[in-house]
Structure formats: structure tokens, C-alpha cells
Amino acid sequence: MYHIRTYTDTEECRQLWETLWPDDCFFDLWQVRSCFNQAFNRPLHFQVFEENNVPKGMIALCWIKEQESYGHFPGETWKGETWLEQNKIISCHPDMSLALINSLPGPVHLRYLTHDSFFHTRGSIIQDEIGYLFLPKKYEYSFNQYLAEFSGKTRKKMNAEMSKLERQTVTIRHNRLSDVDLLFKMNIQAFEKDSYFSDQRFLRAFEKLVSYMVKNDMMRITTLLIGGEPAAVDMGALYKGTYTILAGGTNPDFKGIAKLINFHHIEWACKQKIKMVDFLCGNFNWKERFHLTPRPLYELKLDNSFLYSNLSEEIKGIKICA
């Protein structure tokens, strides 16, 4: 017998997440997402497809009041958009996915869905943003082999720009925890009200996230100094061979510093034989210029008019339980 049940209790939702959700990347961790949910305090709404009372599929949602729609857990938003990536619809059959969607009592807007969340929705799923990866194995873990992929003209230009910085004495330090506050400060100074960290909820979420990463030996802080002065700070998470660059800040007085710190991440990943570096989504032209590997993510936006008739006869008879 099929049922769809709604779960709103935090502990029950955690158990369901850890039962059904794959554990492949940093964003798959309940503790990571919980940092944001605690800061934004969105009501949980997990729709779970059950067969004979055994959970088989799930859409992990939150109600986002100001948008009057359901978004993906943990429901963090900034200017109407979410931030966390690698969202999923857990399902083993198109009918299961459709049944879960149709069971929702209101509209849904999901962003940054992975490719394996696909199902038949009459064209409602579209490409969202593109994430970018660096894959060290593609270059046999050789930074020089990676650089050789650039044209001679481009390499010459990059070397000139990097040399100008290096003549001012570049030093790199790692994992000084106090540099996290410097990152927040630099980011806010650079982007002002457009900085995520200008929202106290995002700032609190990241502070919780930093504590979690430090406790579990996941965090890598990289600080570039020019002539002893901090010029750029990046925060990343290392989990299961993937290095995810989460946030950064730069001093605008040092032209080309962002390029230098990104090359440092790539060179370090090659030396350490990291599986991949995830530079996340973002409409920044440098990611294409750096020859990173694109990874599209997808968006699903549906209102209450979604067609129940799309379901097979077998699934139409499911019982929806509160």
C-alpha cells in the first residue's frame, strides 16, 4: 500500500534525511543544512512516499512565507534566491516524483537540483545555473599540465599579472581561525548590501557552519598576504575528496589577487590528488576562462495547477496522510 506522509518534526525529518539522502558531498550533510535552518527558522515540510510504511522517496521542503511557496530545505534565501547547491528529489520512479509534487498543498520553487532529480513534468524543469569544477585527475594531477591548456598569449598575460603581485612578496597562511572574521569584513566591504553576510541570518548560519567544520576537521582557510597585508581570504570545506570553496573576500587594492588565490586552490588540489574542487555556481566569466568543467543544475517551479492526471492509475490511489 502506498502513502504520502507529511513530516514537520525536526528529529523525525533528520532521521528521514539520514535514511534516504545520499551522502556524497558536503551539502548532503544534515548538520550543514541545519546550520542554515536554525538561522532562518523555516517550518519543515518533508513529503515522504511510503510503501507499506517504509520510506522510499522524499521531497525535503520548508515553507518560505515571504515567497508564499515551498523551497528546498533548509529554506535559506537571499534576495529571493537560495544558496545551497546539490538539492535533490529522492525518487526511484517518475510516478513517485509526480505523486510527491501533487501532494503538496501549495506552490513549489526548487533551485540547484541535481541531474538525477529529473522526472517527467511537462517541461517544467529547466536549467538553472551552472556550477564549475576543477578535476585534477583530468590533468594527471599536474598543475603545469593544466597551465599548458591555456594559449601562449594567455599564459604570458597571466604570468605578467602574477609576477607583479609576487614582486611585492606573496605569503600564504592556512587555517588561522581569526581570518574568518576578516573574510566576512572583506566580503561586506566589497559587496556592501549585496553581500550575503550583510544579512544577519546568513552570517549566523556561517558562524555555526564554521564551528561545525572546525570540530570535524573539514575546514580549510586560505589567506594570501601581499607584503604582510591580507589581500584575500577563502573558506573551503574538504569532504570525501571534494574541496568546496564556500566563500571569500578580497582587498580591492590588489588587482589580480582573486586569480592568484584560485590558482593556489588548483595547484594545491593537484599536489594533494584531490578528487575535485567545487567552485560552485555564479555568473563569473573567470570560471570559463580558467577552463573549469561545467556542471548544470536545474530548477523546478510549479503552482497549484499541476496536472494530477499525469499519474499512472496505480499511483493515483495513494493515500495522503498528515
Domain membership flag for residue 284: no
Domain coverage including residue 15: 2-130+297-321
User: To the nearest whole number, what is the mean pLDDT of the chain?
Assistant: 90
Contacts of residue 288, Cβ cutoff 8 Å, sequence gap at least 6: 132, 294
pLDDT of residue 192: 92
The CATH number that applies at residue 218 is 3.40.630.30
Domain membership flag for residue 280: no
What is the Cα gyration radius of the chain? 22
Nearest one of 75, 126, 136, 140 to 269, comparing CA atoms: 136
Count of structural domains, the chain: 2
Q: What is the pLDDT of residues 217-230, one digit of tens each?
A: 999 999 999 999 99
Cα–Cα distance for residue pair 152/173, rounded to 1 Å: 31
Query: What is the arithmetic mean of pLDDT over 313-318?
Result: 56
pLDDT of residue 58: 96
Domain membership flag for residue 279: no
Q: What is the pLDDT of residues 99-158, one digit of tens each?
A: 888 888 889 999 999 988 875 444 456 889 999 999 999 999 999 999 999 998 888 888
pLDDT of residue 314: 53
The CATH number that applies at residue 315 is 3.40.630
Domain membership flag for residue 281: no
In which band, very low, low, confident or very high, does the pLDDT at 209 lie, cut at 50, 70 and 90?
very high
Question: What type of residue sits at position 229?
Answer: E
In which band, very low, low, confident or very high, does the pLDDT at 321 lie, cut at 50, 70 and 90?
low
Joined grid coordinates for residue 250? 578580497
Q: Same domain, yes or no, for 41 and 75?
A: yes
Q: Same domain, yes or no, for 15 and 105?
A: yes
Q: What is the pLDDT of residues 54-90, one digit of tens each?
A: 999 999 999 999 999 999 999 999 888 899 999 999 9
Domain membership flag for residue 290: no
Pairwise pLDDT comparison (317 vs 307), residue with the higher score:
317
Q: Same domain, yes or no, for 106 and 192?
A: no
In which band, very low, low, confident or very high, does the pLDDT at 312 lie, cut at 50, 70 and 90?
low
**Portion of the chain with pLDDT greater than 90, in percent:** 72
pTM across the whole model = 0.91
DSSP symbols for 161-221:
HHHHHHTT-EEEEE--TTHHHHHHHHHHHHHGGGSGGGSHHHHHHHHHHHHHHHHTT-EEE
Domain membership flag for residue 282: no
Q: Same domain, yes or no, for 206 and 245?
A: yes
Domain membership flag for residue 246: yes
In which band, very low, low, confident or very high, does the pLDDT at 315 lie, cut at 50, 70 and 90?
low
Q: Same domain, yes or no, for 124 and 193?
A: no
